[in-house]
Chain A
Amino acid sequence: MPTPLVEMINIHKWFGRVHALKGVDFSVNNREIVGLVGDNGAGKSTLIKILSGLYPPDKGKILFEGREVHFKSPKDAMRLGIETVYQDLMVVPYLNVYRNVFLGRELEKKIGPLKVLDIIRMKTEVKRLFGELHLEVASIDSPVETLSGGQRQAVVIARAMYFKTRLLILDEPTNNLSIKEAKRVLEMVKSLKQAGISCIFITHNLHHVYPIADRIVVLNRGVKVADLPKAETTIEEIERLIISG
């Protein structure tokens, strides 16, 4: 069996007296879409926040391509190519599309001793990325606040694609989207896989994750209750596991 891209082993997390994660093992392989499902409070977000470097685990270890890693901040995880897209979409509403895509990692060119933004190159790159994701771009000069939820999601996903992400963590990416837009986001996730990016897809809408996932992991009250290749399970079985554990 090949080494997984990421492996979390025996992860524990306490918040005061609440034992949020009780020894969870979780892994993602290369070019794999893993659906992480569970009811509210099952521990999905906590697990993901540990993997993206926001919290340290109280016990357990994280391996990246077989080597143990310690994340002190999200920056450490990002350096390895682990990007997280949170539920409350991390975009700056008043900045336009390409400024958002490149926020924090702007492309620059030199004019004499000065380093200035390379706006032309940023625009071309964003157009290319959106082409790869099969997205119509309204206008990459408009502020992100004027875009629809699905288009904003695309901005964030384009960002992950550009920066050679290895693993993209999507936290409830289809929440608050219209049916048509949710479908488009799912297609984008599929094209990410073709581009060689693994994906963790967190949701409580099983009908969204089931069609695109390779494997489905179910958490219930801080415990992993199932870890099944999609081919070996059904929506009904997973639904039962989410509720009863």
Chain B
Amino acid sequence: MGFKEIGISFLQRREVSVTLILASVMTIFYCIQPRFLSPSNMSVLLRITPELGIVALGVTLLMIGGEFDLSVGSVFGFAPLVMASLLNLGTNTWLAFAIVLIMCMIIGAVQGVITVKTGIPSFITTLGGMLIWRGVALVITGGHPLYFNPSSDFSYIFTGKILPFIHAQLIIFLILLITLQFLLERTKFGNWIYGVGGNKDAAEAAGINIKYVKVILFIICSTLAGLGGIIQSTRFGQAMPNQGSGLEFDAIAAAVIGGTSLFGGVGTLIGTMLGEFLCRIIENGLIIIRAPSYYFRLYIGIIIIAAVIGNLYIQRRTLKLR
């Protein structure tokens, strides 16, 4: 492979524009306030990114498969609330954790089955789910936070400090990232996900059970949302009824910034990780340079549009280079 081919194959990766944006944003923040890259600040970033990143991984898989899940933010809030209630009743931490994960799987399965059986857009099914699970959370708690007090081994495994700057949630996130990326790129099921999202009819004609693939993706997505919420609650020591609100759009934004297509069939989890990291860096960088935090959404909005235009532009250019 010559220099040109390596260049082209790099530019063909859809993560290119997010990588470039990430590098420039980090440089800008560093120039304004060098403390941005200090170990203590990086440590903060590496603690808060994983719990939201885990959710974005599931959302990305589902989007590659051609569907949306708007309920992830609500499940992110609802799952730790249920777990907190179980803990308050004296349930064993690990048993409570298992029950809640199974509950999340069922939530995903129900939303998935309704979507594929009725043929209504998942946007609608999960918009319903978003309101329902948030509503249930508010009803259960009356709007008040609950103490979230799992056993100490549980806290250590999910949020403990493993090494200086490295917390357990980062390791969990990386393991999930690698496993799911492997699933996507190197297994039959991964090929089916791209096939179902890229051309539903072709996938069906090739004998793939597209309903099965989609329901599995909905289950993965809800389960990861619940897991993310539980990790956040473990870190905070409480479960809040409004926890994770707005997260559904943050997760979609991270995926899209990282190169995932809204129309399905295209995307990678590495891209989503970079997208998620970019969002958190902007949020954190604005605080470090003491800009009013209200700027956050404004910049994310600009960056979503810039990243997508960047992807499109780079793609057209690489096609011409050949």
Contacts and interface: CB of A to CB of B under 8 A. Distances in A.
B266 A94 contact: yes
Interface string B166-183: 000000000000000010
Contacts of A116: 182, 186-187
A40 interface: no
B188 A108 contact: yes
B201 A117 contact: no
A93 interface: yes
Contacts of A74: 204-205, 207
B318 to A, nearest CB: 10
A92 interface: yes
B194 A106 contact: no
Nearest to B182: A116
Interface string B31-55: 0000000000000000000000000
Interface string A80-121: 000010101011111100010011111010000001110100
Given A75-B207, A78-B207, A92-B195, A103 B187 contact: no
Contact of A84 (B187, B188, B205, B319): B205
Contact of B202 (A91, A108, A117): A91
B46 to A, nearest CB: 29
A117 B187 contact: yes
B29 to A, nearest CB: 34
A92 B186 contact: no
Contacts of A106: 188, 191
User: Size range of the interface on B?
Assistant: 20 to 34
Interface in A228-243: none
A194 interface: no
Contact of B198 (A86, A93, A108, A117): A93
A95 B198 contact: yes
B interface secondary structure, majority: helix
A102 B187 CA distance: 12
A124 interface: no
B92 interface: no
Contacts of A148: none
A117 B194 contact: no
B202 A146 contact: no
Contacts of B198: 92-95
Given A90-B205, A105-B206, A116-B187, A95 B194 contact: yes
A139 B203 CA distance: 22
* Nearest 10 interchain pairs by C-beta: A104-B206, A92-B198, A90-B202, A103-B206, A106-B188, A104-B207, A92-B199, A90-B205, A104-B208, A116-B186
Given A104-B195, A104-B203, A117-B191, 6 more contacts: A84-B205, A92-B199, A93-B199, A103-B202, A104-B208, A116-B186
14 contacts: A74-B205, A93-B265, A95-B191, A95-B194, A99-B191, A103-B191, A103-B208, A104-B203, A104-B208, A105-B206, A106-B188, A106-B191, A115-B188, A117-B191
Interface of A: 74-75, 78, 84, 86, 88, 90-95, 99, 102-106, 108, 115-117, 119, 146
